[in-house]
Amino acid sequence: MLAAGVALTLASPAFAQGENPLLPKNLSPWGMFLNADIVVKAVMIGLAIASLVTWTIWLGKTVELRMATRRVRRRLRLLESGPRLAEAVRVCDGERDAVAQLVLTTAREAELSGGIIDDGFKERVALRLERVEAAVTRQISRGTGILATIGATAPFVGLFGTVWGIMNAFIGISESHTTNLAVVAPGIAEALLTTAIGLVAAIPAVVIYNHLARVISGYKALLGDASAQLLLMISRGDRASAPRLRAAE
């Protein structure tokens, strides 16, 4: 009888340490996602989509800005070489890049002014150039606002998922009538995973947004240089090219 009691005492910890069927067996990120509440899953999926959008915008805008900057630099070298306005119009005729639009709008104003180059003409050209620069900058900046939105809201969306998951964890504690950490920890881990995913979505979005903002500022400065070259061109009194603008267009 004593031997049986000793054997039962030694065996009881083994039974206590056995696997609990109520506990999730896979605590990897994917396993926690599969075991999460439907609301927490929706938050995780939304944050994953936001992260995918962030990297897609980064790739698209990087290629677009690189090509646009290359075209502006090429046109700027042409303007700095000192051609007449009519020659610049001939080179840019039919093109839709930013500097071509600046050249063509200058030629259009020269045509409407009848070839009269005075202070009023220079002010009108400067106004036209300013509006074209603003329109081109808005066009090249499309999509970057989404990055700012993701960077600002993703941490809070992740926090919402965390709060919801912790609420469910506390409800589970109340229903199971136990405060055993082994029972509570998986639910809290699933909840905290949403905060981690929110930060993973937000941090790259903020970094990429700031990077693109700097590149767009440099692009805008190049457009300003091109506008300055056009203003210098007409300020020299390029009267000889004015009568030929209509033919060039």
- In terms of Cα–Cα distance, which of 133, 123, 125 is closest to 108? 125
pLDDT digits (tens, 9 = 90+) for 212-233: 999 999 999 999 999 998 888 8
pLDDT digits (tens, 9 = 90+) for 152-203: 999 999 999 888 888 877 777 777 676 666 666 777 777 788 888 999 999 9
How would residue 243 be classed by pLDDT, with cut points 50, 70 and 90? very low
Structure letter (DSSP) for residue 95:
-
Q: Of residues 30 and 58, which shows the higher confidence score?
A: 58
112 contact partners, CB below 8 Å, separation of at least 6: none
Q: What is the pTM of this model?
A: 0.76
Neighbours of 101 (CB within 10 A): 20
Measured between alpha carbons, how far is residue 103 from residues 43, 78, 128, 219, 246 in Å? 49, 11, 10, 17, 14
